[in-house]
Amino acid sequence: MSARDRTRISCWAGLLALLLALFAVPQSASAASLTQVTGFGSNPGNLSMYTYVPDNLPSGAPVVVALHGCTQSASDYYSHSGWPKYADAYGFALVFPQTSSANNSNSCFNWYQSGDYTRGQGEALSIKQMVDYATSQYGSDLGRVYVTGLSAGGAMTSVMLADYPDVFAGGSIDSGIPAGCATDLSSGLTCEYNPVSKTPQQWGDLVRRASGGWSGPWPRVAVWQGSGDSTVNPANATESRDQWTNVWAIGQTPSSTTTLTGGTTQAVYNDAGGNPAVETFTVAGMAHGLAVNPGSGADQCGTTGTYYLAYICSSYYTAKFWGLDGTSGGGTGSLPAPSGLSVTGTTDSSASLSWNAVSGAASYNVYRGGTKTGSTTSASYTDTGLSPATGYSYSVAAVDSSGRAGAASAAVSATTTGFQPQCFTANNYNQVASGRAHQSSGYTYANGSDQNMGLYNTFITHTLEETSTGYYVIADSGCPA
């Protein structure tokens, strides 16, 4: 072989190695999208898990679980329901469980089968495992987990609220059925098509038994129903109202009623403190489906389709009821929102705020990520116990002398100082390319610790934990961060 041939072969080998390395370099992160998650738990209910997580979602954000109806899918509910719009606007993660024809011939959640509707079993446990995975993975606020669903998904929402009131802060039953109404397919069909009349006490007892002895606090529940529904008898909405008002130990006479868009009547049932515990939304003339209202307005969402009907954006009003828009989630005071909210300082573990005083305010509620984190009688507040190098969202509401919070202020963001440990899993080539490691004499070494990571190539993969700025250690056995 001539010297020229040897040189040519050497050049081609070098070029091939370079191309292999370039193809191994990860692409820049894409915008948030619906993503399937595997390995979230033992999954006894044989369900699939999908998530939608807005870009740069801070820790301490809420989680909403959204359950599709029969013949639907996670993708279908994601595309039509309008929930992703408010996940982006208000800052929360979405979990979309999905069943299949392997579980049910019509791809319905099995809300009427004891092996699937009992706490700690079947589909109910699979959904609970998805919540556990999501809250751990995203550092979510465990006190701000919610569940909603349509039709069979609405009936399964009732199941989840009854089984796990220790997990869910609120729920929304859309064209669904009360918890405990059915124990098999035959009784399920009876519940679906015919009024099943029980006393509020009897309905409430079904929840209390399902919960395993939980004594509160109870989730706040919205009930949506079309008056023209011939698939799920509208009487089910009344029975669901009776069930949850009894659980809350309040009466079945509304504290207030309001006429909304789309021929919708909202009835509010306040708890002993004067805050909404249960709300019903009756949509005049609407057939079986989820109420949506396509458009670009703040209170408009979703797209029409099979079982997605153009009346009113149910997701918007449900999010407001839960307080996901940054309000206290039901404050009914008349005081205006405080103006001038600003961040006056941060440390590794605290954020200090100030705002303009509101005339007539007896105190102020401070909300972190939409959840009340404290109160103060002055127009300033310092939130403590935070994680370093982490972003948080704050709003403030004035509270009158009767204890009712008014409208919340516009939200502001605060980022604590300090360093937040992070973990990175990649092949040795990409660890070096990303500045977390360096190579010498054909071997790779972690920056800072200089731990030997093996040959410098694309075939060896390690997890590195950045324990302080620019200092990395091998964490293949488990990354605490």
Q: What is the residue type of 473?
A: V
Instruction: Give the distance between the most distant pair of CA atoms in the chain.
Output: 97
Q: Which single residue is written with the structure tokens 């998650």?
A: 37
Active site residue 151: yes
User: At 23, which helix (H) or strand (E)?
Assistant: helix 3-24
Euclidean distance between the first and the last CA atom of the chain, given in angstroms as a whole number: 55
Residue 202 and residue 198: Cα distance in Å, rounded?
6
Q: Report residue 163 as tokens.
A: 């089984």
- All residues at 6 or more sequence positions from 114 whose CB lies less than 8 Å from its CB, including other chains: 121, 183, 184
- The helix (run of H) or strand (run of E) holding residue 122 is helix 122-138
Which has the closest alpha carbon to 315: 295, 337, 336? 295
Q: CA-to-CA distance for 283 and 262, rounded, in angstroms? A: 7
Is the Cβ–Cβ distance between 111 and 146 less than 8 Å? no
Q: Which segments of 88-219 are extended strands (E)? A: 93-98, 145-150, 170-174
Tokens representing residue 252 in the block: 């079945």
Q: Give the residue from 334, 331, 336, 384 showing the smallest Cα distance to 356.
A: 336
Distance from the Cα of residue 409 to its chain's centroid = 22
Of 81, 140, 151, 172, the active-site residue reads 151
Residues marked active site are found at 151
